[in-house]
Amino acid sequence: MPDIIAGLALLLVISGIAAIYHQSWTVHAIVAVIALALAIYASATGAMLKGRIKGSSTDVFWLHRRIGVSLGAFVLGSIIYGIWIRLQHADPILSSVHGRLGLIILIGMVLQIVPSLVKKDRTAYRGLHMVLGYLLPAILVIDSAWGLHIGVLSETKYLVLAHSISGGLAALAFVWIILETMYPTEMGLGRARIASFAASLLVIAGCWIAGGYNYLTDYGSNVKPAILAGGYPWAHQILMEAKEHVFIFLPIIALSLSLTIYYLDDDRFAGDRRYRRAIAEIACMALLLVLLMFLMGAIVSKAGNTGLEA
C-alpha cells in the first residue's frame, strides 16, 4: 500500500508540472527519459530476482516492486503530459506513431503492475511479465527517439529517425553489456556477446551508414545552407563538423568491443576482474559517445529547422 500511495503522489506531482509547463515538450521528454532510466533499472532488478545477473542488494524484490510502481507513475505522467500537449494544439491524440507507441507502453505498464500488485500467486504470469519487462525499455527508447524527432524537426524524416532510433537502441545495448560485466553469471558472457553484436550492427548500419547517407545526400545541400544562413551558424561550424568526424570513432569502438568479448573465454570473464572492468569501461565510453552524438544531433536538427522556417 505505501508503494501505491507513493506512486500516486508522484503521478500527482508530474501532472502538476504538466499543468504548469503545458506548452513545453522538453519537460515531457525529461519525464520520459526518467521513465526510461527506471525501466532499465526495473529490468536489471528483475534479472537479479531470476538470478540472470548477480544482485548486490539484499531485498531485490522490494526494490523491484518500488521501482516498478515509480516507473508506472512516470509512464502514466508522461502520457498525460503528451495528451495535454496534443490537446493544446487541438491535434488528434492517436494520429501519430509516437502517440500509438505511447498507448502500447501504457497497456504494457498496466499489464506489468496491476497483476503484480493484485495477484498473490504469480507463477503462471511470470513469463509474460519477463518478456514485457525486457521489451518495455526498447519500446521506450524507440518512442523517446520518435518524440524527440517530432519535437525538434516538427516533421518526420525517416532516415534521420532510423539514425536516431538506432543510436538509442545501441545505447541500450551498451547498458546491457555494462550490467552483464558488473553482475557476472555463468550465462553472462553469452548474453554480453549478443548485446555487443547488436550494438555493433546498430552503430554500423543504423548510425554510420544511414547517418552518413543522409549527411551526404540531404544535409549538405538542404540543411547546412539553412543553418549557416540562420541565427546559429556555430551549430554546423562547431557541432556538426565535430559530430560528423568524432562519430567515426564510434563504430571502431563498438567493433573492437564486440571482438574483445567474442574472443574472451568463460574463465577469464568470470574469474578475472580486469577483463570485466576493461569491457565495462569501454562500454561506458561508447555509451557516453552515443549520448554526446544524440545531444549534438538534436541541437543541429533544431538549428536546421529554425533556419528552414526563417
Partner 1 sequence: MREPATFLASAAFTIFTTGCTIIAHELSADLRGLLVAVTGHHWLSVSALAAALFVTSSLLLAGSESIRRTLKAEDIALWSRVLMAVTMFMTLGCLMVYTIHYISG
Residues that bind partner 1 (CB under 8 A): 208, 212, 215-216, 233-234, 237-238, 241-242, 244-246, 248-249, 251-253, 255-256, 259-264, 268, 274-275, 277-279, 281-282, 285, 289, 292
Closest CA to 262 of 189, 198, 203, 202: 189
Query: Taking the complex as a whole, how short is the minimal distance between the CB of residue 116 and partner 1, in angstroms?
Result: 40
Least distance to partner 1, CB of residue 309, Å: 23
- Beta carbon of residue 295, minimum distance to partner 1 (angstroms, whole number): 13
DSSP 50: T
Task: Quote the CA–CA distance of 298 and 306 in Å, as a whole number.
Answer: 12
Q: Which is nearer to partner 1, 148 or 286 (CB)?
A: 286
Residue 154's H or E segment, with its range, is none
Nearer to partner 1, 135 or 182 (CB): 182
CB neighbours of residue 244 within 10 Å: 17
Q: Smallest distance, Å, CB 185 to partner 1?
A: 19
Nearest residue (CB) to partner 1, 115 versus 233: 233
DSSP-assigned letters across all residues of 78-119: HHHHHHHHHHHTT--TTSSHHHHHHHHHHHHHHHHHHHHHH-
Distance CA 277, CA 28 (A): 35
Residue among 65 and 193 whose Cβ is closer to partner 1 = 193
Distance separating alpha carbons of residues 110 and 256, to the nearest angstrom: 40
Give the H/E segment covering residue 22. none
Alpha carbons 252 and 241: distance in angstroms, whole number? 19
- Pick from 54, 9, 11, 57: nearest CA to 34: 11
158 vs 249, beta carbon nearer partner 1? 249
Query: How far is it, in rounded angstroms, from Cα 42 to Cα 64?
Result: 6
Pick between residue 32 and residue 279 the one whose CB is nearest to partner 1.
279
262, 269, 259, 253: which is closest to 180 by C-alpha?
A: 269
Give the shortest CB-201-to-partner 1 separation in angstroms. 15
C-beta of 226: minimal distance to partner 1 in Å? 18
Instruction: Tell the smallest beta-carbon distance from residue 249 to partner 1 (Å).
Output: 5
Of 74 and 208, CB closest to partner 1: 208
